[in-house]
A and B are shown apart, each in its own frame.
Chain A
C-alpha cells in the first residue's frame, strides 16, 4: 500500500466544496455581477477631466456634473467645485468595497447556508467521516474551499474594478487592493459563526440569524465613542466587553478607508479583535466537530 497522501484526501474535500458552490450557481452569479460592474465602468462611463478635476461624467450617454463641497479659505465659506479625479476614483472604489463587503457578506452567508446543511446532512457526513482523514482535515478541506472561492470572487470584483478605474483615469491606488484580504477575512469570521452554531445545534438557520445579528450589532458597537460617555459605568463596561469580544465588522470599514486614502491607520484593533473572535469560534467549532457523534 502506498504511503498515505494527505493531499489526495484534501483535494477530494476541496473539490466537493467547489463543485457544490458551482452547482448552487452562487459562484457564477457573483462572477456575473462582478463582470457587469467592470464592463459598466469600462464602456458605459465616460469622463471629461480638466486639470485633474472631473468636469463632466456620462453614464450611458447621460451627462452629469459631479461637484463636491470645499472650504474656501479666502472667503471662509463652503463652495461647490468640480470633483477631483482622485476623490472620484476613491469614491467609486469605496462604493464597490462597501457593496462587496456588506452586501456580498450578507448574501454570501445566506447563499452558503445550504452548503453547510449539505455538509452536515445525515448520510453525507457519516460517509465523509468513514474516509481516512481526520475530522479536522475534513472540516479544513471544506473551509479551504469556501475561503478560496470568496478570495477569488473578491479578487475578481475588486481587482477588476481597480484595474478598470486605474487604466481609465491614470490614478493608481494600490492600497485599494487591501479590500481583497479584508473582505475574505471578515467573511471567514462570519462564516465561523454559522458553521460553529450549525455543528452545535444542527441548525444552519440559527447560525445565519446569529451571524446577521452580530453584523447589525457591530454597527452599534462602531459608535462606542459616542455611546459610552452617555452610559452608566456598569452599562459602559458591558458595552465595551461586547466591543472587545464580538467582531467589529462595521468598524473595519474605517481601517479600509484609511488605507485607501493613504492615511495612517489609526488602529488595527477592529480587524485584529474580529480575527481573534473568528479564530476562537473556529477553534470551538473544530473541537466540537471532532467530538460529536453523527
Chain B
C-alpha cells in the first residue's frame, strides 16, 4: 500500500488568547489518514475545527499535541509543501497584480521553474475561464473570478495534494460546475484533494470520502452513502394520489408534491405492500426508483444527534 499523503495522529490544538489566557480547544485528538488519490470532503458547523485541521497539516498553525505528517515529512517542513497546492478561505491576492502576474509570483513562491510557469500559466487561465482577463488587474475581479484565480494558483505547481478551503464560495452555479469538473479531472489524474466546504451538494458530487467534524473531533467518517442516512429506500412516483387512499398502515411518507411516496426503510416487502395497496386503490404508478437520502439530511442528523464517531 502506498504511503499516506496525510497522516495525523492524536492532534490537539488549543488557542490561548487575551490577558485572561482564554483557552479555545480547536482540535481534540484528531486521527486521520488520507491515501494517495483520494478526494476527501470535510464537513462541520462553524467553529468545528475544520480550518484549523487544514492549517495544522500545512504547518500554518502549530499543534499543541500530537503529530501531522505530509508526504511522510513533519507538517511544517517546507520541502513537503513543494507537492502541495492550497486555496485558503477568504484569500487575499494583491489587487494591483494582473491575473498572469499573480500566477507568476505565486508560481515562483511555489518553486516552479521559469519554463514551467511560461507553459502552465496560460493553460491554467484557460482552464479556469480567465484567459481573456489575463492582463486585467484583479482588483476589478468579481468574487467568483477571484475564486477561480485562487484555484489556478493552487494548481500552478502541478501538485500531488490540493487543499481547498471553501473553493466554491461566491461562485455562480456555472462556475461551481466548472470547479467540480476541474476537481474530477484532478481525481482522474490521481491527485489527492481535500475540500472543506459548507456546500454539501458539492461534497456529495465529488468526494470519495466524507468526514464530519464537530467541536474539534471527527464524529463520523465514511463514504457519502455511509454518512448520509444509513441505507437506501424506494421512491414511487404516481400520477396523482386521490383523497381517501390511506397509506398510514405502511412505513412510508408522502412527498410535499403529493405525487411521490418514499419507503425509507428500504425493505422490498414494504415496497411490494405499497404497490399492492396503490394498485388496489386504482392509482397509476409512473416509476419506482432507488431513493438515497441527501448528505445534508445525514449531516444534520449527525450534528444534531451527536452520533459517536464511526
Question: Residues on A close to B: CB < 8 A?
Answer: 1-2, 4-5, 8-9, 11-13, 15-16, 19-20, 23, 118, 121-124, 126-134, 137, 291, 293-294
**Chain B residues with CB below 8 A from A23, complex form:** 94, 96
Give A141 Cβ to nearest chain B Cβ, in Å: 9
Contact of B96 among A8, A19, A133 (CB under 8 A): A19
Smallest beta-carbon distance B276→chain A, Å: 60
Q: State A128–B94 Cα separation when bound (angstroms).
A: 12
Select which of A9, A16, A126 is within 8 A of B88 by beta carbon.
Answer: A126
- How distant is A38 from chain B, measured CB to nearest CB, in Å? 29
Q: Are A132 and B111 also in contact (CB < 8 A) when A1-B82, A126-B55, A127-B86 are?
A: yes
Chain A: minimal CB distance from B110 (Å) = 5
**Which of B55, B59, B108 contacts A12 (CB under 8 A)?**
B108
A/B interface sample: 20 pairs, CB < 8 A? A4-B111, A11-B108, A12-B108, A13-B109, A19-B94, A19-B101, A20-B96, A23-B94, A121-B92, A122-B90, A124-B91, A126-B88, A127-B88, A127-B91, A130-B59, A130-B84, A132-B110, A134-B78, A293-B61, A294-B61
B310 to chain A, nearest CB (A): 30
- B134 CB to closest chain A CB (Å) equals 16
Bound together, the chains give a CA A134 to CA B111 distance in angstroms of 12
Closest B residue to A128 by beta carbon equals B109
Whether a CB of chain A sits under 8 angstroms from the CB of B60 is: yes
Residue in B closest to A6 when the chains form the complex, CB atoms: B111
**Contact across chains for A12 and B107 when beta carbons are under 8 A apart:** yes
Central interface residue in A19, A132, A134, by most chain B CB within 10 Å: A132
Question: Quick check: is B123 within 8 A (CB to CB) of the other chain?
Answer: no
Q: Are B94 and A123 in contact (CB under 8 A)?
A: no
Chain B: minimal CB distance from A155 (Å): 25
Decide yes or no whether B81 CB sits under 8 A from chain A.
Answer: yes
Q: At the interface, yes or no: B106 with Cβ under 8 Å from chain A?
A: yes
Closest-by-CB residue of A relative to B52 is A293
Residues in B with CB closer than 8 Å to A293 are 15, 55, 60-62
Residue B105 lies at the interface, judged by CB distance under 8 Å to chain A: yes
From 103 to 129 in chain B, residues with beta carbon under 8 angstroms from any chain A beta carbon are 105-113
User: Which residues does chain B contribute within 8 Å of A133, judged by CB atoms?
Assistant: 78, 109, 111
B97 part of interface (Cβ distance < 8 Å): yes
Cβ contact within 8 Å between A131 and B94 = no
| Chain B residues positioned under 8 Å from A2 (CB to CB) | 113
> Do A19 and B97 touch (CB < 8 A)?
yes
A134 to B88, CA, bound (A): 18
- In the complex, given contacts A8-B108, A12-B107, A130-B88, what are 8 additional A-B residue pairs having Cβ atoms less than 8 angstroms apart? A11-B108, A13-B109, A15-B105, A118-B94, A122-B92, A127-B86, A127-B153, A133-B109
Given the complex, which residues of A lie within 8 Å of B82, measured CB to CB?
1, 4, 132
A residues less than 8 Å from B97 (CB atoms): 19
Partner of B113, one of A5, A127, A134: A5
Kindly provide the distance from the CB of B89 to the nearest chain A CB, expressed in whole angstroms. 8
Docked Cα-Cα span, A205 to B81, in Å, equals 33
Residues of chain B with a CB closer than 8 A to A126's CB: 55, 58, 60, 88
Q: Does A19 lie within 8 Å of B58, measured CB to CB?
A: no
**B201 part of interface (Cβ distance < 8 Å):** no
The 10 A-B pairs of least Cβ separation, nearest first, read A12-B108, A23-B96, A12-B109, A123-B92, A293-B61, A130-B86, A132-B82, A131-B109, A132-B81, A124-B92
A130 with B105, Cβ < 8 A, contacts A2-B113, A122-B90 known: no
**Bound complex: CA of A4 vs CA of B107, how far in Å?**
13
A132 touches B92 (CB 8 A): no
Bound complex: CA A272 to CA B101 (Å):
41
B66 CB, min distance to chain A CBs, angstroms: 15
- Per a CB cutoff under 8 Å, which of A9, A13, A130, A291 touches B60? A130
